[in-house]
Amino acid sequence: MFTQCDTYKGKFKNLSQFLIEGVRHYGVDDQIAYPSVTSVISWVNREKWAAWRQKVGLEEANRKNKKATNRGTGFHSIMEEFMANNDVTTMTQYTVPLLQLMFKAAKPYLEKHISTVYQQETRMCSSKLCLAGTVDLIADYDGELSIIDFKTSEKEKPEEWLEDYFVQLSAYWAMFSEATGVAPKKLVVFLVAENGDVQIVERTNIMDYLKTLQDYVTQFVQHHNALS
């Protein structure tokens, strides 16, 4: 069982979510809307993904993307229920053999490393970065307050391929710190592959990733300002 703590309850605004010219935004109030951090990172990597789609072919790229989306959505739903101490075996997602395998692989690692849960699937924003997003999990990981993201993949990834995940997590770190005045100690990517391999990578050099994030935001804003 994970300890559920409401220390930061009420610290985060009730953000709406909508699309502006195909880009996901979060409404902070009637006047302000910030782009999502995932949309910004996806935009920065647009040429890389376009090259990948051309390499594998449009039909295969669409198939892989649909599979990855379904796998990720289902796995995240199970994780959210499990971290809230609910019975995941009653969930529709749990009847999917792949998701059941991945959950059973992840479960002992979660129980070993995570103690207290503070926030799950929380919408957050930063007026300093002019960004918003939805964090997977904020919890004590090995006794340290951490920003945690659940990822799924066909197979384990080289660590250098995970760098943009940490850029994403640094945004949540900034949003959380801005809202609460508390700075989490580390960023944790918790990746589960289809064969049940569990890859956990931690980073504490958060300022390095924030610097990269700020560069991404600048590119995104300059491009979209040029179009307006």
Token pair 């692989």 is at which residue? 105
Q: Which helix (H) or strand (E) holds 191?
A: strand 186-193
What span, in angstroms and rounded, lies between the C-alpha atoms of 170 and 163?
11
Asked whether residue 31 carries a pLDDT value surpassing 90, the answer given is no
Q: How many domains does the chain have?
A: 1
Contact 15, 123 (CB under 8 A): yes
Asked whether residue 225 carries a pLDDT value surpassing 90, the answer given is no
What's the domain range around 164? 3-227
Tell me what pLDDT residue 154 has. 94
Asked whether residue 128 carries a pLDDT value surpassing 70, the answer given is yes
Contact 130, 39 (CB under 8 A): no
Digit-coded pLDDT (tens) for 192-203: 999 999 999 999
pTM confidence score: 0.95
Token pair 């409404």 is at which residue? 27
What span, in angstroms and rounded, lies between the C-alpha atoms of 138 and 151?
15
134: amino acid identity, one letter: T
78: amino acid identity, one letter: I
Work out the average pLDDT over 114-139.
97
Going along 55-166, which residue ranges are E strands? 114-126, 131-141, 144-153
CATH of the domain at 184: 3.90.320
146 pLDDT tier (thresholds 50, 70, 90): very high
Tell me what pLDDT residue 228 has. 60
Asked whether residue 22 carries a pLDDT value surpassing 90, the answer given is no
CA distances from 120 to 6, 12, 94, 123, 206 (A): 11, 12, 19, 9, 21
What span, in angstroms and rounded, lies between the C-alpha atoms of 215 and 212?
5
